[in-house]
Amino acid sequence: MTDSGGKKQLLHLVFGGELENLEGTQFRDLKDLDIVGIFPDYATALTAWKAKAQQTVDNAHMRYFIVHMHRLLDPQDTTGSK
């Protein structure tokens, strides 16, 4: 799983939504989830996450997450430990 430059892809998904309460990760409405995108590495995903988190800073229940998709696709892979 490499990109066109020969570098290994470490796919990350950024998504978010409004939580039921501040202590959990249960979303109010799954139909309203914001799928920001899939990114080729953690640094790019983090930049997208920060931008979305900043846009929604006034809503305390809105949370964005980074999912390490490369770990789901290959659980034995320990590359990209973030």
Q: Would you kindly state where each structural domain of the chain is located, as residue ranges?
A: 14-40+59-74
CATH superfamily, region 14-40+59-74 = Uncharacterised protein PF13773, DUF4170 (3.30.70.2400)
Write down the pTM of the prediction: 0.82
Report how many helices (DSSP H) and strands (DSSP E) the chain contains, helices first: 2, 3
Each residue's pLDDT tens digit, 20-68 = 999 999 999 999 999 999 999 999 999 999 999 999 999 999 999 999 9
Sequence-ordered list of residues with C-beta below 8 angstroms from that of 2, at least 6 positions apart, any chain: 8, 9
Dihedral-angle region of residue 37 (phi above 0 means left; psi in -120 to 50 means alpha; beta otherwise)? left
